[in-house]
């Protein structure tokens, strides 16, 4: 299946097969597919239906869809005690750290130690948890609307957030698309791998997911969407020559050109393509959207001058910040929490598969890759 040579050592396990994944696969040219469906074909479905797909490996029929939504609604209420923990966290802390603590808190307060039940409960509780994280971190703790469990997952988040002067139907559309696009991305991406590794030691879903969120919080992984929008704001122009100069300047300064490149993809990420199409529909004249439209054509040209860069094309993070900003979610520090919210579905489904389905139901054993000793000869204390 695979020949391992010294060239595979110390490269982050890149490309080395270590397991199987039942929820999604990524191809270099077409990007991610959920249970066989290319992501673009799922992009306008409800997040609830796509969660159903990841857990059941089939899309729901209308009856299954309604029952699944009702099931999630019945699990949505947060236990008492979450708000007092959130109220004690430092507002300077990054929202991803709040999310990790929030997930741990849910686990401490009402984990039931059943992989599937805990995964479903966590998915159902994420919208309210995330909404409260925004409210407490920003000190907007007065008059928080109560959780309306009859709403969709996205609706419960926007209801909790309760922002003024926004078009909530466009916000809900952007968030629903965002969630579907970010739910899963094969088995080996850093956050998913981390979540499954922690779960392999039979820690709880909550501990595993908190670990996964910590992995997602790095700027080369999930936090690239925050960095990418900060980068777009810094460019501050949609003049192609100026954008090109900016990209060259970043490369010269040895900084990453955010929103471009990928470990597996070798073409534009279809999740970027879907978000560009959505942007053309809802905000074609937005200044930042105009910048990313130009970046999308200029940056690949410049990046492909460096033969070391395997994929000079746009990745998922290029457009998401611009769309979130347009609908009224203005602080880029929060953007990765939406990525985390979405990934709870894919990581949860993969953990449930690894713990309860793989190896005839025995589950994958505790992770233990091999490391080769380096610069260590046997010696003794005199
Ligand atoms: N800007 C600058 N340099 C880049 C680059 C980019 N967009 N993409 C690749 N490179 C560099 C790498 O840093 C590496 O340099 P090195 O040889 O000095 O170590 C070299 O090109 C080869 O990298 P490559 O094999 O093409 O890609 P990797 O698998 O190592 O890295 C990421 C993939 C995504 C980390 C890389 O392309 C990058 O840093 N992109 C910018 C950050 C970003 O947008 N991240 C989001 C990724 C993603 F969608 C997600 O996981 O969230």
- What digits encode the pLDDT tens for the residues 334-369? 999 999 999 999 999 999 999 999 999 999 999 999
How many domains is the chain partitioned into structurally? 2
Separation of CA 231 and ligand 1 centre (Å):
15
Say what the pLDDT of residue 220 is: 86
Q: Are residues 267 and 299 in the same domain?
A: yes
Ligand 1, pocket-test mutation among 184, 261, 275, 305, most atoms within 8 A of CB: 261
Whether 11 maps to a domain, the answer reads: no
Whether 87 maps to a domain, the answer reads: yes
Q: Are residues 118 and 202 in the same domain?
A: yes
DSSP 17-36: -----SSEEEETTTEEEETT
Whether 367 maps to a domain, the answer reads: no
Domain with residue 249: its CATH number is 1.10.230.10
Which helix H or strand E contains 38, and what residues bound it?
strand 37-38
Q: Are residues 207 and 237 in the same domain?
A: no
Separation of CA 311 and ligand 1 centre (Å):
8
Whether 70 maps to a domain, the answer reads: yes
State how far the alpha carbon of 370 is from the alpha carbons of 13, 18, 210, 216, in Å.
Answer: 11, 12, 25, 24
Mean per-residue pLDDT over the chain, rounded: 97
Q: Are residues 195 and 236 in the same domain?
A: no
55 and 349 Cβ atoms separated by less than 8 Å: yes
DSSP 108-163: HHH--S-HHHHHHHHHHHHHHHHHHHHHHHTT--TTPPPP-TTS-HHHHHHHHH--
Write down the residue that tokens 């050592």 correspond to.
9
Whether 272 maps to a domain, the answer reads: yes
Give per-residue pLDDT as tens, 166-218.
999 999 999 999 999 999 999 999 999 999 999 999 999 999 999 999 999 99
Taking the C-alpha atoms of residue 63 and residue 253, their distance in angstroms, rounded to an integer, is: 55
Write down the residue that tokens 């968030």 correspond to.
175
**What range defines the domain where residue 30 resides?**
24-164+181-217+345-361
Cα pseudo-dihedral 346, 335, 84, 92, rounded to 10: 140
Hey, whose CA ends up nearest to atom 34 of ligand 1?
262
Q: Are residues 91 and 206 in the same domain?
A: yes
Q: Are residues 43 and 126 in the same domain?
A: yes
State how far the alpha carbon of 149 is from the alpha carbons of 74, 135, 152, in Å.
Answer: 8, 18, 8
DSSP 350-364: HHHHHHHTTGGGT-P
Taking the C-alpha atoms of residue 230 and residue 248, their distance in angstroms, rounded to an integer, is: 17
Separation of CA 284 and ligand 1 centre (Å):
28
221 is annotated as an active-site residue: yes
- For residue 37, the SS3 value is strand
Q: Are residues 190 and 232 in the same domain?
A: no
List, chain by chain if needed, residues with CB within 6 Å of any ligand 1 atom: 220-222, 224, 256-263, 308-311, 315-317
Q: Are residues 69 and 205 in the same domain?
A: yes
Q: Is 206 exposed, middle or buried (0-12, 13-18, 19+ CB in 10 A)?
A: buried
Q: Are residues 41 and 150 in the same domain?
A: yes
pLDDT level of residue 106 (50, 70, 90 thresholds):
very high
Whether 300 maps to a domain, the answer reads: yes
Taking the C-alpha atoms of residue 257 and residue 249, their distance in angstroms, rounded to an integer, is: 10
Whether 374 maps to a domain, the answer reads: no
Whether 3 maps to a domain, the answer reads: no
Q: Are residues 352 and 267 in the same domain?
A: no
Q: Are residues 199 and 301 in the same domain?
A: no
Q: Are residues 232 and 312 in the same domain?
A: yes
Domain with residue 206: its CATH number is 1.10.580.10
Give per-residue pLDDT as tens, 269-292.
999 999 999 999 999 999 999 999
């Amino acid at each position: 299946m695979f020949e391992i040579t010294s060239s595979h050592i110390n490269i982050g396990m890149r490309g080395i097969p270590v397991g199987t994944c039942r929820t999604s696969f990524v191809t270099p040219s077409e990007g991610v597919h959920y249970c066989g469906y290319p992501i673009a074909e799922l992009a306008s479905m409800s997040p609830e239906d796509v969660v159903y797909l990841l857990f059941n490996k089939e899309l729901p029929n209308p009856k299954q869809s309604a029952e699944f939504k009702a099931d999630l609604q019945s699990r949505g209420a947060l236990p008492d005690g979450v708000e007092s923990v959130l109220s004690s966290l430092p507002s300077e802390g990054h929202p991803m750290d709040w999310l990790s603590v929030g997930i741990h808190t849910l686990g401490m307060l009402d984990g039931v130690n059943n992989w599937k039940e805990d995964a479903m409960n966590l998915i159902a509780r994420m919208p309210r948890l995330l909404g409260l994280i925004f409210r407490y971190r920003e000190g907007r703790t007065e008059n928080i609307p109560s959780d309306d469990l009859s709403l969709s997952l996205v609706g419960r988040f926007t209801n909790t957030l309760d922002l003024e002067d926004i078009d909530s139907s466009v916000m809900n559309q952007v968030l629903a698309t965002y969630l579907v696009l970010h739910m899963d991305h094969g088995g080996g991406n850093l956050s998913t791998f981390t979540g499954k590794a922690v779960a392999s030691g039979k820690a709880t879903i909550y501990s595993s997911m908190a670990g996964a969120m910590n992995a997602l919080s790095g700027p080369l992984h999930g936090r690239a969407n925050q960095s990418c929008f900060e980068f777009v704001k810094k460019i501050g122009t949609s003049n192609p020559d100026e954008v090109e100069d900016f990209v060259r300047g970043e490369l010269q300064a040895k900084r990453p050109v955010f929103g471009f490149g990928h470990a597996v993809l070798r073409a534009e990420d279809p999740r970027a393509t879907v978000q560009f199409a959505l942007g053309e529909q809802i905000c074609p004249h937005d200044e930042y959207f105009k910048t990313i439209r130009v970046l999308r054509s200029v940056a690949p040209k410049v990046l492909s001058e460096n033969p070391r860069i395997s994929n000079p094309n746009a990745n998922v993070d290029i457009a998401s910040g611009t769309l979130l900003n347009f609908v009224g979610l203005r602080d880029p520090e929060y953007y990765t929490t939406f990525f985390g919210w979405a990934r709870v579905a894919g990581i949860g489904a993969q953990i449930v598969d690894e713990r309860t389905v793989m190896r005839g139901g025995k589950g994958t054993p505790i992770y233990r890759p091999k490391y080769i000793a380096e610069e260590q000869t046997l010696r003794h204390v005199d």
